[in-house]
Amino acid sequence: MFTLRRFYSTTIQSKATTFVQNILNNSVRFNPTKNKLFVLHDNQCGLSRLLTSAYENSVDKNALTVMNFDEHEPAQIKDHINTHLSEEDLVVCIQTGAFYLNDYRLRLELFNRNMKNIEHVHLGLMPTEQYETYVNSLAFDPLKNGPSLAMKLKQKIDNAKSIIVTSGKPGNTTQLHYETEMESALLNIGDYTGMKNVGGTFPVGEVFSEPKNLQHVNGHVMVFGFPNLNRVVEIHDEPFMLTIERGTVTKISETAPHSFIEVFNVIKENEGEVIIREFGVGINDGMGKYNPLNDVTAFERQKGLHLSLGKKHTVFKKENLKSKKTKFHIDVFIDVRTIEMDGDIIFNENEFF
Ligand SMILES: [Fe+2]
């Protein structure tokens, strides 16, 4: 038994190392002969330890510094970055929760100094049985999986005049209609070619947009997952229905779990109504309805569709939604069968195009 478990974890560890090497080579294009890798981690959960080892095993010791966040004062960490790192160096943050360095906004500071940054966050939300899924989600390689599909999706979304989303269990489906153009879609696929800022939060694999006219969305949509009030993604095998009229959720089916109603009520109490915004197409097939991840930041890249509830969207701006007054962006995962844009099926039973 012991041998089996050991074998299993060794397999995950070696997979993690392979995928991390791909990220270093193909995504952030880290050059170990010229640049340094600084791994800032904690040891508070198994996944954090697993990823820390994966980065340690991926780079020659001469190019590597590893620091345990919990054993150092914020000032020491800042000092290390300021005195030992320079342009093109890479900082990887491996976090059971999310590191807080007082008023020091790490990613911003790094990008300002032309350094690279990779973040893994909320790792403590994942129970042991999800470790392998998390590792598999890191297999998404921008060189292999990314550009052609993502660009094709962007092109479709950017040109779309109408979108029909069919969702629900086979034989019992319902439709949501977008009669609007969409905002110019953005890619989060780990390809930073030509970008000033190199890096971001991993895992990646998403193309996202939102309706130009938020009110031109009507119909019904079936939801299979959402983050609950504890910020843990809940998956429900039996999807439940949201009715959407003029871009606002006006009805929730009686089969919706109590934990969803709680989330819905919090948004409604704070924002007065629950509107939908993000149209997020995930293209990372390392995770999905049957191999979920508890952390929504990671799971929103799952292959398929998610929409956001609430008035907040930090990327797309809308004149009548002043960002100071908007509070919520809660991703809900759609039990999607097909996505049709201007009459073309772009997603059908878990396959694109
Ligand atoms: Fe998203």
Structure tokens at 192: 């930073």
Cis amide bond preceding 203, omega within 30: yes
Distance 77 CA to ligand 1 centre (A): 31
Which pLDDT belongs to residue 150? Answer: 93
Whether 203 and 332 share a structural domain? yes
155: exposed, middle or buried (Cβ count in 10 Å: 0-12, 13-18, 19+): exposed
pLDDT tens per residue across span 161-181? 999 999 999 989 999 999 999
Within 130-232, strands assigned E span 163-169, 172-178, 186-188, 199-201, 206-209, 217-227
Whether 192 and 220 share a structural domain? yes
Distance 43 CA to ligand 1 centre (A): 28
Domain edge (last residue) among 137, 169, 194: 137
Structure tokens at 322: 């002043």
Distance 31 CA to ligand 1 centre (A): 30
Which pLDDT belongs to residue 227? Answer: 98
Q: Which of 207, 191, 196 is nearest to 22 (CA)?
A: 191
Given a cut of 60, whether residue 196 has pLDDT beyond it is yes
> What is the distance between the alpha carbons of residues 243 and 136, in angstroms, rounded to a whole number?
34
* Residue 327 banded pLDDT, cuts 50, 70, 90: confident
Distance 194 CA to ligand 1 centre (A): 22
Distance 334 CA to ligand 1 centre (A): 12
Q: What are phi and psi of 106, to 5 degrees?
A: -55, -55
Give the range among 131-135, 193-197, 228-232 with minimum mean pLDDT.
193-197
Distance 19 CA to ligand 1 centre (A): 22
Which pLDDT belongs to residue 8? Answer: 55
Residue 4 belongs to some domain of the structure = no
Given a cut of 80, whether residue 102 has pLDDT beyond it is no
Distance 296 CA to ligand 1 centre (A): 9
Write down the pTM of the prediction: 0.93
- What share of the chain in percent tops pLDDT 90? 86
Distance 235 CA to ligand 1 centre (A): 17
Q: What are phi and psi of 335, to 5 degrees?
A: -80, 70
Whose tokens are 């900082």? That residue is 91
Whether 115 and 189 share a structural domain? no
Average of pLDDT values for 260-287?
96
How many domains does the chain contain in total?
2
> What is the distance between the alpha carbons of residues 179 and 156, in angstroms, rounded to a whole number?
15
Domain edge (last residue) among 110, 137, 164: 137
Give the range among 54-68, 167-181, 313-327 with minimum mean pLDDT.
313-327
Q: Which of 274, 236, 273 is nearest to 255 (CA)?
A: 236
Distance 306 CA to ligand 1 centre (A): 7
Whether 47 and 174 share a structural domain? no
* Residue 146 banded pLDDT, cuts 50, 70, 90: low
Q: Which of 165, 217, 151 is nearest to 333 (CA)?
A: 165
Average of pLDDT values for 143-157?
86
Whether 235 and 157 share a structural domain? yes
* Residue 1 banded pLDDT, cuts 50, 70, 90: very low
Distance 313 CA to ligand 1 centre (A): 10
3-state DSSP call for residue 282?
Answer: strand
* Residue 324 banded pLDDT, cuts 50, 70, 90: low
Whether 132 and 179 share a structural domain? no
Residue 30 belongs to some domain of the structure = yes
Given a cut of 90, whether residue 131 has pLDDT beyond it is yes
Whether 64 and 166 share a structural domain? no
Distance 190 CA to ligand 1 centre (A): 14
Between CA 30 and CA 349, with CA 154 as vertex, the angle to 5 degrees is 100
CB 334 within 8 A of CB 304: yes
Structure tokens at 177: 């209609």
Given a cut of 90, whether residue 9 has pLDDT beyond it is no
Which pLDDT belongs to residue 188? Answer: 94
Distance 84 CA to ligand 1 centre (A): 35
> What is the distance between the alpha carbons of residues 15 and 54, in angstroms, rounded to a whole number?
9
pLDDT tens per residue across span 288-317? 999 999 999 999 999 999 999 999 877 788
CATH number at residue 69: 3.40.50
Which pLDDT belongs to residue 4? Answer: 46
> What is the distance between the alpha carbons of residues 109 and 102, in angstroms, rounded to a whole number?
13
Whether 60 and 109 share a structural domain? yes
Q: Which domain covers residue 58, as residue numbers?
A: 10-137
Distance 323 CA to ligand 1 centre (A): 18
Given a cut of 80, whether residue 145 has pLDDT beyond it is no
Whether 164 and 311 share a structural domain? yes
Distance 255 CA to ligand 1 centre (A): 25
Which pLDDT belongs to residue 183? Answer: 96
Distance 173 CA to ligand 1 centre (A): 23
Contacting residues for 62 by C-beta, under 8 A, at least 6 apart: none
Which pLDDT belongs to residue 323? Answer: 66
Whether 220 and 268 share a structural domain? yes
Whether 59 and 84 share a structural domain? yes
Whether 129 and 184 share a structural domain? no
CB 332 within 8 A of CB 307: yes
Bridge partners (DSSP) listed for residue 38: 65, 91
Distance 216 CA to ligand 1 centre (A): 20
Which pLDDT belongs to residue 100? Answer: 86
